[in-house]
Amino acid sequence: MKFYIVIPAHNEEAYLEKTLQSLVSQTLLPKKIVVVNDHSTDGTQAIIDTFSSTYSFVSGIKSTSEATHKPGSKVVNTFNKGLATLDNDYDVICKFDADLIFPNNYLEEIASLFKTNPKCGIAGGFCYVQKKEEWILERLTNKDHVRGALKAYTKECFNKIGGLKSTMGWDTVDELLAQYHGWKVCTDETLRVKHLKPTGKNYTKKARYKQGEAFYKLRYGFVLTCIASAKLAVKKKNLSYFINCLQGYTKSKKKNLQPIVSEKEGRFIRNLRWKGIKNKFL
């Protein structure tokens, strides 16, 4: 299978070399890797230049986005700039973060997931973070969810969902829409990926509002938004996260913001979410 990989990178000097080295050492090599240098002020570009001069399938482009960190939209916009430089001759498109170390059989095993399950549209392994001397499973990991840090899509699935949505929660939207179109999300818990810069607790209040806004745009409804916000708050061990999410949802409703899914897609998403909740308690 032909893998194309796009890596958004902003000031990743401390991690990018390890990420790229793990990818150029794969048992199944990717056909193309594009690193999008998003206005880095450190040595990120030098690392890109070193790898692109050594490996013909590695390239880099420069991008300048707003300095303000916008969870979701900024990384998707950067990814899309890299995607625009690629042709359509691939089987799998990947959006990978610049702070990961992949096991050397990672792409080979992801290809196997897609080959053995023709309805698998999104696949990935699990992220592990270092705690003292031990690598432990990252808190936000679920067996039915592929983290946004290491998404892999079949071309047909990626096109069917319309690519990635430029919004916070994009890495949930993609999976919900994939399932709406009949695709499955597949994970392999044996594929342990080291996440060198774990997802932090330090989202700003504005970012937490954006999470509530994302729930509104997905047509979750108030009750599901409460449940989803509470779940995130528990995982992040942050009560204010729950409160800010609900505030973001309420503000979005008052502003009558445009949803990012159709009414039919929203109905499917709500039913899917409720089914998942029932299955956990029954």
What residues contact 38, with CB distance under 8 A and at least 6 apart?
Answer: 8, 9, 10, 63, 64, 65, 74, 78
- State the Cα torsion 60-167-199-50 to the nearest 10°: 0
Angstrom CA distances, 111 to 32, 34, 187, 203, stand at: 15, 19, 12, 34
Together in a domain, 55 and 95: yes
Q: Which of 53, 55, 61, 100 is nearest to 80 (CA)?
A: 61
Amino acid sitting at position 72:
G
- pTM, 2 dp: 0.90
Residues 147 and 231 in one domain: no
Q: Are 155 and 94 part of one and the same domain?
A: yes
For the stretch 58-94, pLDDT in tens is 999 998 866 554 555 789 999 999 999 999 999 999 9
pLDDT on residue 201: 46
Using a pLDDT cut of 70, give the percent of the chain over it. 94
Asked if 20 and 158 sit in the same domain, the reply is yes
168 shares its domain with 223: no
Total of domains in the chain = 2
| Residues, the chain | 282
Domain check: are 115 and 226 in the same one? no
List pLDDT tens digits, range 179-232.
Answer: 999 999 999 999 999 999 876 544 567 777 888 999 999 999 999 999 999 988
- Which tokens go with 83? 């995607």
In whole numbers, what is the pLDDT of the chain averaged over residues? 92
Last residue within a domain, chosen from 157, 175, 195: 195
Do 105 and 54 lie in one domain? The reply is: yes
Q: Both 12 and 122 in a single domain? A: yes
For 6-20, write each residue's pLDDT tens digit.
999 999 999 999 999
pLDDT of residue 144: 86
